[in-house]
Amino acid sequence: MDQLSAMQTFRRVVDLGSFSAAAHQAGVSHTVLSRHVKHLERHLGTQLLNRTTRRLQMTEAGALFYRHCTRILEQMQAMNLELSEHQQQPSGTLRLGVATAFGELELGHWLPDFVGRHERLQVELHCSDRFIDLLEEDIDVCLRVTDHLPDSSLVARRLADSEVLLVAAPGYLERHGTPTTPDALAAHPLLGYSRLPHPQRLQLTGPAGERRELLMPQRLSANSPMALRAAAIGGLGIASFDRFIAHDALRDGRLVPVLADWSLPSRTVYAVYPQSRYVAPKVRALLDYVQAYYAEQRWQH
């Protein structure tokens, strides 16, 4: 018999005034409860109750133990209630990992609403373009835009497709001409993302399903998609971006599509989180929110 159960038994016997009443309430025999209290007395090395045929009376040690029992059991009850409420409502600190471009361009559209719905929740944002280890860096959820997820113990929930397209500033195309075929791209510089294995290589699929792979000269490389975006808007060359990176600039005309009939391999937006039998309410709340948010097409042509 564990000590917590023993304390609950002792308190019940004292509160009800007899072993018989306590046994009836607990649904066990009088003998079982009497044996539990005797084991408790042997464990503590002192007598807690004076037993007579008519009544039970606490000893001085029993009264002291009863006061401690009452306080401890009430604290346990309060703790269980608080934990139960904590599990039902998202609360605490949610550590969210995102790529820098996604953080700068996307979170402002939905994160304020998400946080506003959960007043007991604080968000700790980790922006990085490297492939972080969620377990090592204690990240609850990471939103990743990728064409490949390595095998791991992580769970990945697919949120949306992320189209990749070629873009350039209208001023650049006016000065250097607009390529109308893949071969014509060889005369134009590509603004390359240096974290890719082959920043200058493009794989294109045509409207009839034909495929071309080509290398473009490189005028600028950078490890930041946002820096490349600024360079493309500034007219330094042609760039390939996920549509969410170029979306607002395409909408207001700072960038325009290049070879719109040809497509690049698309990528996928995932919510990635550590595998566990128990998913914390704060994590579940975020997963459900972003799943619903990105179920709608957010980056219209």
Tell me the domain boundaries of the chain: 3-88, 92-163+267-293, 164-257
- From the centroid of its chain, how far is CA 239? 31
Residue 154 has pLDDT above 60, yes or no: yes
- Record the pTM: 0.68
CATH value of 3-88 in 1.10.10.10, 1.10.3470.10, 3.40.640.10, 1.10.1040.10: 1.10.10.10
Q: What are 92-119's pLDDT values in tens digits?
A: 899 999 999 999 999 999 999 999 999 8
Which residues make Cβ contacts (< 8 Å) with residue 178, sequence separation at least 6? 258
Q: What are 49-94's pLDDT values in tens digits?
A: 887 767 788 888 888 988 888 888 888 876 776 666 566 778 889 9
d(CA 209, CA 228): 29
Q: Is 104 helix (H, G, I), strand (E, B) or coil?
A: helix
CATH fold of the domain at 92-163+267-293: D-Maltodextrin-Binding Protein; domain 2 (3.40.190)
CATH fold of the domain at 164-257: D-Maltodextrin-Binding Protein; domain 2 (3.40.190)
Nearest to 49 by CA among 38, 58, 40: 58
Question: Is 164-257 the same fold as 92-163+267-293?
Answer: yes
Both tokens of 21, joined, read 């009443």
Number of Cβ within 10 Å of residue 243's Cβ equals: 20
Yes or no: say if 69 and 77 are a contact pair by the CB < 8 Å rule. Answer: no
Mean pLDDT of the chain: 88
Compare 297 and 300 and report the one with higher pLDDT.
Answer: 297
